[in-house]
Amino acid sequence: MNTNPPARRAPRLAALAAALLLCACAGPGIKPETVNAGPLPAEPATVQSQQDWLGRLPFADRQDFEDAQRGHVAGLEQPQIRTADGRVVWDAQAYAFESGDAAPATVNPSLWRQALLNNVSGLFKVTERVYQIRGLDLANMTIVEGDAGIIVIDPLLSAETARAGLELYYRHRPARPVSAVIYTHSHIDHFGGVRGVISEDDVKAGRVQVIAPSGFMEEAVSENVLAGTAMSRRAQYMYGALLPRSATGQVDAGLGKGLSRGTVTLIAPSLLIEKPVETRRIDGVDIEFQLTPGTEAPAEMNLYFPQMRTLCIAENAVRTQHNLLTLRGAKVRDAKQWSYYLDETLARYGARSDVLLGQHHWPTWGRERINRLLADQRDMYAYLNDQTLRLINHGYTPMEIAGRLHRLPEPLASQWYARDYYGSISHNVRAVYQRYLGFYDGNPANLDPLPPVETARRTIAWMGGADAVLARAREAYRQGDYRWVAQIGNQLVFAEPENQAARQLQAAALEQLGYQSENSTWRNAYLSGAQELRKGVVVPPTQGAASADLVKALTVPMFFDFLSVRLNADKAAGKAMRINWVFPDLGQRYAMTLNNSALTYRADAAHATPTATITLRKPVLNAVFAGQTRPGDAIRSGQMQVTGDQQALAALFGMMDSFSPSFNIVTPAAR
């Protein structure tokens, strides 16, 4: 990653086109079915696709480059940020290959432009008393100078990157203490580095306030619990976590370069914002808090600084179309609600704001430009919601809607901040469909289809067998029909997982689709799939235990809900159990019931005749959940007391599944 802004460059579209053609290093002679090692070069169809992009968008517009560079103070002195034991959590050199306007043939020119902009990193002065750390993690850390100290907004994902950012600030500004930390919303990349800038002792002593929107703690720790293993695995594809940083690998993440890999922490808020709009003075700085629940996050808020005429839009408006449903998986977001709050923000602050900054990307200066950006993003989410519903009511299905709504209306479609770098029109309109109508498209043929492997085997057999399908798929590949090759290649692989020719052909098709993709998360997913088809699933090295802060923040009901998800119904069949749980330190008790292969519980209740009663303090439960101790060890040490059936707890845990964080995605599930 370049730590200093690149010099301004004059646009040269002809040179860009020529460079794309010169970068093409594959010809019609490539035979992907015979190649085991990747990556492959860009095929001629991909080179042509990249060249076509140059005429679709206003590449001559350099305003974003000026804004991204504006106010740059300094970059990191050392390119790598490490943990205390020397492990690299952020490497500013990893993206050094990203330089020059001309995109390589293996990267969509629009995405390359976004990657260059996200590569501008370091400490920036936004306006008087307002600074930002950008490009040291996926998100930004904003610093507002108060009368006696500083206010830190969103301390990044990892304690190490947050600490490095604060140290960078202190090298160029007075080293005054942190007087407050503000979490704008409940996503981990906006609070995970908090212990890199403050300590919990400072909060308990009242020296530092931690401010967050109402509902923050529950949302911050709950989203990834019940389906956490699956979300984490899918996130590897979404962010390209296992891909090399290169022109044929991961180049960007849309919102920023990628995720840091440091220590995730959490300190609970000492002050919650609960009114829709409320103003507080923090260290001499007036801040108007505007709650925006149910938008980009379930718990989120914007901040307005009247003294600086500056609006912090949190993550409600960014320099890309955002996700209504992330590729890693989550609950569908409400596009209508999102649009509503953007309009409310525009009405309340549009005429009073000279600077707009967000917790991703670079700021916007000037009221006219601020108002246009907010209005355009408002219209974008309204369009996605309303036009999807219009087509739903005409009887169109999700993929039909995605095919019809493939482009936003002009002039919105040509605004760089409405492009598909992170979210996409295709998967966002399907998310709207899912929000209103669910998974079923209304066609009875799709109500109870055969499972994927059986479908694949029958499909390939009906098409004449693997050899016949491979021959036709290879011809489609030579013609540049990569979407179809990816689809039929998937059928081949699921029908015959050990068919190396099928795997290599599908990998090659996915790779070309990745090269052509404007969307960073789609590119990462395509290329991750191609890599795993060629090399198999790579189990990443263990990065340490689960975050102690996040585990500590889980409520007892959250633990029990997760136990219920882990219960193997076959192992529990025909078994019944009644367990009382007692937490003396919390003053809480729960009555848990195992019956009909379902694990349920009641709060503030107890079974009159339990199978067993388990008494423990909440920290012991935390240690068991984090894998730091085993239930049997906790019983033997006296940290957990069991009365009644001494084997009940062991029997219960014996019915629990363990989840693999490296399950198959582009090949059939292991059996």
pLDDT score at 438: 96
Q: Mean pLDDT over residues 366-386, rounded?
A: 98
Q: Is the pLDDT of residue 29 over 80?
A: no
Q: For the segment 333-365, what is each residue's pLDDT rounded down to a tens digit? A: 999 999 999 999 999 999 999 999 999 999 999
- The pLDDT, as a whole number, for residue 247 is 98
Q: How many Cβ atoms are within 10 Å of 261's Cβ, its own excluded? A: 21
Do 482 and 530 meet the contact criterion of CB atoms below 8 Å apart? Answer: no
Choices 1.10.10.10, 3.40.640.10, 3.40.630.30, 3.60.15.30: CATH for 13-378 = 3.60.15.30
Q: Where are the domains of the chain?
A: 13-378, 449-535, 548-653
In terms of pLDDT, which residue wins out, 83 or 8? 83
The predicted model scores a pTM of 0.92
Helix (H) or strand (E) holding 305: strand 301-305
Is the model's pLDDT at 27 over the cut of 60?
A: no
pLDDT tens string 112-129: 999 999 999 999 999 999
pLDDT of residue 38: 80
Digit-coded pLDDT (tens) for 201-232: 999 999 999 999 999 999 998 887 888 899 99
CA-wise closest residue to 141 among 127, 128, 126, 131: 131
| Helix 13-23 and helix 44-53, axial crossing angle in degrees, nearest 10 | 170
Structure tokens at 493: 């692989």
Average the pLDDT over each of 450-454, 459-463, 660-664 and give the range with the smallest value: 660-664
Q: Is the pLDDT of residue 328 over 70?
A: yes
pLDDT at 6 over 70: no
Mean pLDDT on 15-31: 35
Domain 548-653, what fold? Nonspecific Lipid-transfer Protein; Chain A (3.30.1050)
For residue 3, pLDDT over 90 is answered with: no
Superfamily covering domain 449-535: Alkyl sulfatase, dimerisation domain (1.25.40.880)
For the residues 424-450, what does the mean pLDDT come to? 96
Burial of 393 from C-beta contacts in 10 A (0-12 / 13-18 / 19+): exposed
Average pLDDT (89-93) is: 94
Q: Could you tell me the two tokens for 452?
A: 């994927």
Residue 527 contacts residue 240 (beta carbons within 8 Å): yes
Query: What integer best gives the mean pLDDT of the chain?
Result: 93
91-96: average pLDDT: 94
Q: Is the pLDDT score of 533 beyond 80?
A: yes
Q: Residue 243 — very low, low, confident or very high, per pLDDT cuts 50/70/90?
A: very high
Residue 16 has pLDDT above 70, yes or no: no
Percentage above 90 pLDDT, the chain:
88
Q: What's the pLDDT at 20?
A: 30
